[in-house]
Amino acid sequence: MKNIYDFVVIGAGISACTFASFLNKRFSDSSILLVESGRKLGGRATTRNSRKNKILEFDHGLPSISFSQDTSQDILSIISPLINSKKLLDISNDILLMNEFGFLNNAFTNNKIYRSFPFMINFCEEIINQSINPKKINYLFKTLIKSIKRVNDIWEIQVNPGSFIESENLILSSSLIAHPRCLEILKTNSLPLRDAFIPGDDNVVESVLRETSKLNYIKRKIYILYISYVELVQKLNNQYLHILFSNVIKQDYNFERVIFQQQSDGSMIVLLHCFYLNNITEIKIENIISTLASLFVNYPIFSDLFLKARLIDIMDWRASQPLKNLLPKELQWSSNSKIGFCGDWFDIDSRGGGVESAMNSSIRLAKLLNWK
């Protein structure tokens, strides 16, 4: 007899883990499978081990999480124990802003800025650990969705040629297979969610497809730099230093922020986040180094670090954050087709930013559902 899951969740980032954990608290015997294209939990919040130097470990996507002063009680129930146990650290004082004149100041904000300890991936792990029956939450990593279709009231998800997963309910924690950008990223000729339905069969899905097509996404390129000079690294006092750039610098250079992450051997990984509203462009590493050194000319400790840095990798995030036209929360669940949607692409009243909104949407969806 085939194993039919109660819920298959596409994605294993913060939104998916929040949904799975809260659903497990409601229905501890329901079987849940998270399908993820990456190698482990986290999505953009995952932590990477360098393939060339196994000792290097760093957060290459989401470097921090912002929570507002109006954080919901549901999210507080997740993060309060982690803050109290020092598994979620307040790094607000380690967030600086560089203005267009080359001077650093504290990045004043009404929100608290946190990072998971010791790495960002641990946040997702801790969310799952708070479930009632974590043994019922399963994972399938390094797996791309090839197609989805509904056959005799069961969702059939093709993950590899000739390999299928079946589930009574399907949850999309990302808009990818519903958004036109899917065509380029997955190199497919049509949207998997569109192919799963005859037009007009499900009004909720039709609305999701229509509204999702209006979403524009910030694109990001991350340059991963390595500094082996321990004596220079030791001069930095801030353990979790983030430097944001002013709007003028963003417009002139596409530099969004630079993250400093000390390594266990005393070396350092520096991640330069560049953002693009249109096409992603390549910047020569020599130009990056010289620009960073000139921007930080008033702070020799930083300019010296950059001049000693070498590029070890580049990552493109082609769909890292939706802009405007977020979907209304009423489109989160179709009882007709047993398909649900959650993530930062939904308009949930959260002032803390994308992560807080994504978590609230996941919690709301988990509360909406009935099982058996």
126 and 204 housed in the same domain: yes
235 and 208 housed in the same domain: no
Question: Is 97 contained in some domain?
Answer: no
> Which residues constitute the domain of residue 169?
4-83+120-215+325-368
Give me the number of domains the chain comprises: 2
170 in Cβ contact with 340 (< 8 Å) = yes
61 and 210 housed in the same domain: yes
Question: Is 312 contained in some domain?
Answer: yes
281 and 355 housed in the same domain: no
Within 13 Å, how many C-alpha atoms sit on residue 19's CB side? Answer: 35
355 and 231 housed in the same domain: no
Question: Is 105 contained in some domain?
Answer: no
230 and 288 housed in the same domain: yes
User: Residue 109 is encoded by which pair of tokens?
Assistant: 């904000």
79 and 227 housed in the same domain: no
- Domain boundary residue among 281, 300, 320? 320
The residue type found at 74 is: D
- Which CATH number covers residue 72? 3.50.50.60
The partner residues of 314 in beta bridges, in order of sequence, read 223
pLDDT at 1: 38
142 and 30 housed in the same domain: yes
pLDDT at 2: 62
Question: Is 230 contained in some domain?
Answer: yes
User: Residue 23 is encoded by which pair of tokens?
Assistant: 């659903």
Question: Is 101 contained in some domain?
Answer: no
Cα separation, 45 vs 55, in Å, equals: 19
130 and 181 housed in the same domain: yes
Question: Is 92 contained in some domain?
Answer: no
201 and 222 housed in the same domain: no
240 and 199 housed in the same domain: no
Q: pLDDT of the chain along its 372 residues, tens only? A: 368 999 999 999 999 999 999 999 999 999 999 999 999 999 989 999 887 777 899 998 899 999 988 899 999 999 999 999 999 999 999 999 999 999 999 986 677 899 999 999 999 999 999 999 999 999 999 998 889 999 999 999 999 888 999 999 999 999 999 999 888 888 888 999 999 999 999 999 999 999 999 998 888 999 999 999 999 999 998 889 999 999 999 999 999 999 999 999 999 999 999 988 778 888 999 999 999 999 999 999 999 999 999 999 999 886 667 888 899 999 999 999 999 999 999 998 766 678 999 999 999 999 999 876
The partner residues of 155 in beta bridges, in order of sequence, read 150, 167
151 and 273 housed in the same domain: no
Q: Where are the alpha helices (DSSP H) in the chain?
A: 14-26, 73-84, 121-129, 182-185, 192-195, 203-212, 230-233, 247-253, 285-295, 300-307, 354-368
This prediction's pTM: 0.95
pLDDT at 352: 61
Question: Is 111 contained in some domain?
Answer: no
Question: Is 115 contained in some domain?
Answer: no
